[in-house]
Structure 1
Amino acid sequence: MVILGDENSNCSFGRTGAGPPTPEMASFVLHGLQVFCSYNKSLTSEMELESQIEKKEQKLVQTAGKTCLDLNNRGLTASDVSEMAALLPFHPDLENLDISWNDSIGGSLHSITQQIHFISKLKILRLGNCKLTTEDVLALGEALKVIPELAELSLSWNNKVGGNLPVILQKFEEGSKIQKLELVDCALTSEDGKFVGYLLPRLKNLQELDLSINRNIGTSLYSIAQGLKSTSNLKVLMLHSCGLSQKSMQQLDSAFRYLCELRKLDLSGNKDLGGGFEDSSAHLATLEHLEVLDLHQCSLTVGDVTSLTQVIPLLSNLQELDLSANKKMGSSSGNLLSRLRFLPALKSVLINNCALESETFTALADASIHLPTLEILNLSWNKCVGGNLKLLLETLKLSMSLQVLRLSSCSLVTEDVALLASLIQGGHLVKLQKLDLSYNDSICDIGWSIFCHKVWLLKELTELDISLRPSGLRECGQWIRNLLWAVTQLPKLTEIGMKRWILPASVQEELKSIYQDHQSSMHLDHGGFR
């Protein structure tokens, strides 16, 4: 439901005059309401008609402002888009138009582009995953000429953008006010990548650029890197899964020294990037304002780790570091992990699935004591954690900010969960919201019993996962009753993962009662009853 009129005026859904609407206008308003709200009840009288319209309009005022039209993920059809476009001339002050994730409107964008000159003040246009056709994107290229105030454009997940980018963005001249450009998974070609490189120097106000999941632009990264040298205001650069290579890292590094305002850098998912940091990371250290560095799944080598050991500790403002899914770094990352102590602002450390060894895990544990603001710690899929969780004892005791702890598939043993129970009983981990202990099948019933006796003290907990491995199937012990009782003491808990745990049939009624008490807001995923 959307209203674009000013609540202080008489303009609503295209109504411009004071006094009662004409029959034609009433019909128009009703039809608009049906489009936007899927209001399908039959109206049997004029009085009922007026009452329903009034109620719907009152509800709309609460959900949308006069400058914003948000129809994101509303299941719109081509007909709906035509009806919406007919309203645009009545709302010249519209600044935000979002019709993303409506994948049935492809081929109908011309309904909007033909009217877009009526909303020339538009600042935000989001068209992600609309299945735009070639005709749509060509029409959009013409329409962009008449919205000079545009500051944000998202065309993500529309594969017809690929090969047509120069036509779409041809009018982004010097002086353009565009600040955010999202082109995720648009099937961009190498030629599109070269055009981006040509365009970037003209986008003096650009702050966010997302080219992720365009695997063919890696070959044109030289042009993009050259263009980046002229984007000194850039704060976010996303190049996830862009087909980057070792050579790409050399090209990017030459541009980093010009990106003095960069806050977020995502190079993840580029599996051929491994080895690229060995001789090409010197200028990465110049990103003194960098807050987020994502290098997960980059096939980092021993040489990369050695190079990053010299660079990462110099990024004093770093808050989020993701090195996960780099299995080759496991045995060589001790020095790098030990130097995280020089990054006291770190809030998130993701080092899951890195094949850590006991020595490197010890280095991480020692450094983590010096991370007072740590909120997220993911060590999943590192088998060395099992039996050694005590190394994190001081960190878990001292941390007053930890909200997410993920220890999935860490070969945890009973001693480890007993340690967690002891910390919980001692009043630690009080801010924990998400706890993942899944795929640790070696924990015996005694361990789960000890844990379930204390988990009710985690009053902020929203998600708990103790699922078994896909190959496992096991009946719950008596500890299940302790867990279910704990659930009644945790009002914020909404998700419990217990996949492949078989619950005793005797707890079915108890579980129904819990669902009722939580007003259906809680979901427990288990392996059935027996």
Structure 2
Amino acid sequence: MSQRRKKNSSDGETKPRTSFVNKFFRSSKLRPTKAESRQKSNDLEAADFQPSDDAQKTENILDAAKPLPSEMELGSRMEKNEQFLQKLGRKAVNKCLDLNNCGLTTTDVREVVALLPLLPDLEKLDISWNDLIGGTLRSVTQQMHLVSKLKILRLGSCRLTTDDVRALGEALEAIPELEELNLSWNSKVGGNLPLILQKFQEGSKIQTLELIDCDLTSEDGAFVGQLLPMMQNLEVLDLSINRNIGDSLNSIAQGLKSTSNLKVLKLHSCGLSQKSVRILDAAFRYLCELRRLDLSCNKELGGGFEDSSAQLATLEHLEVLDLHQCSLTVDDVTSLTQVIPLLSSLQELDLSANKKMGGSSENLLSRLRFLPALKSLLINNCALQSETFTALAEASAHLPALEVFDLSWNKCIGGNLKLLLETLKFSESLQVLRLSSCSLVTEDVAVLASLIQTGHLAKLQKLILSYNDSICDTGWAIFCQNMWFLKELTELDISLRPSTSRDCGQWFRHLLCAVTTLPKITEIGMKRWILPATQEEELERFHQDHRCSIHFDLGEFQEADFPRLN
């Protein structure tokens, strides 16, 4: 770059360089330069005094020849900032400055501070995942008044200190247009939340507040509850992985009644209890716009839905319901059977890791047929039994929009996969099918191969068949011989269990042949399958002949990762 500048100078070239920083500033409304101000003044005086043409030309020549210090200084700073952004591999795009995960140093922070005054129209600043920001944020927040149009501020995982938190609280008043604030993964936010948000006023424009894993205390939770009525525009509230706020849920739920625009509520792993369901249920009828509800990984929640889920059915716009790992009981399932089928807008349902569902969810699973918009259904590790699996298989025929289906870790599927495949052949949307550790046998993959051969599952992108060690070499051979019909496939996993290992059979040759006809495949999981020397040679020849980018993951035994050559 310096050599190019020297050459331009020696050639007498005076045309300014156009950089991405220059382009950025063109979209910002900078203060007028002295030349612009003087031109406006001349325009205003033109009616009273008109200089001669010669005088005007002379003045114009003098103006052009006389450099303005402010312009020179601005150009120098812009060039320096361009170099700074180039060093980080980033650039300023329109009104966005994204420096997340750049490994910023304290010196870099000073560069960011110098950059902010040049960005008066900045609307998004993301410096998340930069550990060394901690302890230096005050120098940034002191410039916040210069970017008063800021709408999005992300400071996730910056190791903020208590002083940083205090400085941020003081600065937020200077950015009244703020719509999104993300402070996730900063433990010092916990216990200090009022210092940050205490200046939020009624009518705040904040739409998204994310405080994931901030070590919030019950007092912080109570403060959030008191603050919510002031945030009438709030659409996203994520308090996940704050295990102590369950004790202040009464206050939070009371505040939620004033957030009628809320679309996303995430309380994943928040220490919720049976009582919490009743408290939240009372608030649900005020959240008529809610689209996403995440109550997952609250293991003490089990039993809470028995008598407290009636208002859940009023969430007529709900699209995502996540209840995985909530220790749901038989009575919970009975109650949810009356509610979930009424959520006609539901697109994603996660009931995974609720093992007590296995023998009691037949009615619930059979009624999933009333959710025609369902795109993702996760029921892995639910200890399904033959009757419940049969009910699910029959219901799946009525889910035309289904794209993701995860049934992993349900042993009853082994030997019975045909029941499901008979209904999935009507699916034209399925993209992901996960059947890991389902005790599948050779007959199961033979039926799967037959279904594939007839042109069904044509849109499948990911097929996970790992940890099914009972499938013999004949079964894998039949499957691999028909795999080439899956033209959209990008990932296949047939890895063995961690406790076992096996030599690859002759089917490996069929796998390589099929892969040559699959234009999109990039990942083949084969952990703990051992390739004899002859098959290693076949794999190497495959790479040399086809020059494709496919990662054969053989785990700790062998590894084959081939780059694409153009």
Answer whether TM exceeds 0.5 for this pair: yes
The residue number in structure 1 matching 2:334 is: 306
Q: Residue 28 of structure 2 contacts residue 121 of structure 2 at CA under 8 Å; is this kept in 1?
A: no
The residue number in structure 1 matching 2:23 is: 6
Alignment counterpart, residue 85 of structure 1, candidates 88, 110, 113: 113
The residue number in structure 2 matching 1:374 is: 402
Q: Residue 14 of structure 1 contacts residue 87 of structure 1 at CA under 8 Å; is this kept in 2?
A: no
Alignment counterpart, residue 188 of structure 1, candidates 200, 211, 216: 216
The residue number in structure 1 matching 2:145 is: 117
Quote how far apart the aligned CAs of 1:520 are: 6.8
Change (3 A) 1:276 1:428: same
Quote how far apart the aligned CAs of 1:522 are: 2.5
The residue number in structure 2 matching 1:45 is: none
Q: Residue 453 of structure 2 contacts residue 485 of structure 2 at CA under 8 Å; is this kept in 1?
A: yes
Quote how far apart the aligned CAs of 1:7 are: 5.4
The residue number in structure 2 matching 1:38 is: 87
Q: Residue 24 of structure 2 contacts residue 92 of structure 2 at CA under 8 Å; is this kept in 1?
A: no
Cα distance in structure 1, aligned partners of 2:72 and 2:201: 47
Quote how far apart the aligned CAs of 1:325 are: 0.1
Cα distance in structure 1, aligned partners of 2:277 and 2:267: 12
Cα distance in structure 2, aligned partners of 1:431 and 1:243: 40
Cα distance in structure 2, aligned partners of 1:384 and 1:123: 51
Alignment counterpart, residue 199 of structure 1, candidates 227, 241, 262: 227
RMSD of aligned residue pairs (Cα, Å): 2.5
Quote how far apart the aligned CAs of 1:395 are: 2.2
Quote how far apart the aligned CAs of 1:457 are: 1.5
> How many residue pairs were aligned?
508
The residue number in structure 1 matching 2:455 is: 427
Kindly provide the CA deviation profile for residues 471-493 of structure 1, in whole angstroms up to 9, marking residues without a partner as x: 01111001111112222222211
Alignment counterpart, residue 287 of structure 1, candidates 311, 315, 319: 315
Quote how far apart the aligned CAs of 1:359 are: 0.3
The residue number in structure 2 matching 1:75 is: 103
Cα distance in structure 1, aligned partners of 2:102 and 2:403: 34
Cα distance in structure 2, aligned partners of 1:100 and 1:273: 32
Cα distance in structure 2, aligned partners of 1:437 and 1:420: 11
The residue number in structure 2 matching 1:236 is: 264
Greater displacement, 18-27 / 110-119: 18-27
Larger radius of gyration: 2
**Structure 1: tracts of 5 or more residues without a match:** 40-55
Change (3 A) 1:298 1:519: farther
Does residue 154 of structure 1 match 2:186? Answer: no
The residue number in structure 2 matching 1:131 is: 159
Greater displacement, 345-354 / 71-80: 71-80
Name the amino acid aligned to 1:482: H
Matches within 5 A, 1:338-353: 338-353=366-381
Cα distance in structure 2, aligned partners of 1:26 and 1:316: 58
Greater displacement, 14-23 / 378-387: 14-23
Name the amino acid aligned to 1:38: K
The residue number in structure 2 matching 1:355 is: 383
Q: Residue 305 of structure 1 contacts residue 329 of structure 1 at CA under 8 Å; is this kept in 2?
A: yes
Name the amino acid aligned to 2:400: P
Name the amino acid aligned to 2:395: A
Change (3 A) 1:107 1:519: farther
Change (3 A) 1:80 1:355: same
The residue number in structure 1 matching 2:39 is: none
Q: Residue 381 of structure 1 contacts residue 409 of structure 1 at CA under 8 Å; is this kept in 2?
A: yes
Cα distance in structure 1, aligned partners of 2:95 and 2:490: 35
Cα distance in structure 2, aligned partners of 1:11 and 1:281: 51
Report % sequence identity. 74
Name the amino acid aligned to 2:85: F
> Would you identify which runs of 4 or more consecutive aligned residues in structure 1 move more than 6 Å?
10-27, 516-520
Change (3 A) 1:188 1:204: same
SS of structure 2 residue aligned to 1:418: helix
Greater displacement, 221-230 / 63-72: 63-72
Quote how far apart the aligned CAs of 1:31 are: 4.5
Cα distance in structure 2, aligned partners of 1:522 and 1:138: 50
Name the amino acid aligned to 2:306: E
Q: Residue 30 of structure 2 contacts residue 120 of structure 2 at CA under 8 Å; is this kept in 1?
A: no
Quote how far apart the aligned CAs of 1:291 are: 0.5
Name the amino acid aligned to 2:84: V
Change (3 A) 1:517 1:453: same
Cα distance in structure 2, aligned partners of 1:513 and 1:384: 41
Quote how far apart the aligned CAs of 1:114 are: 0.8
The residue number in structure 2 matching 1:393 is: 421
Q: Residue 28 of structure 2 contacts residue 119 of structure 2 at CA under 8 Å; is this kept in 1?
A: no
SS of structure 2 residue aligned to 1:38: helix
Q: Residue 5 of structure 1 contacts residue 91 of structure 1 at CA under 8 Å; is this kept in 2?
A: no
Name the amino acid aligned to 1:358: S
Cα distance in structure 1, aligned partners of 2:443 and 2:221: 53
Cα distance in structure 2, aligned partners of 1:529 and 1:286: 54
SS of structure 1 residue aligned to 2:265: strand
SS of structure 2 residue aligned to 1:428: coil
The residue number in structure 1 matching 2:6 is: none
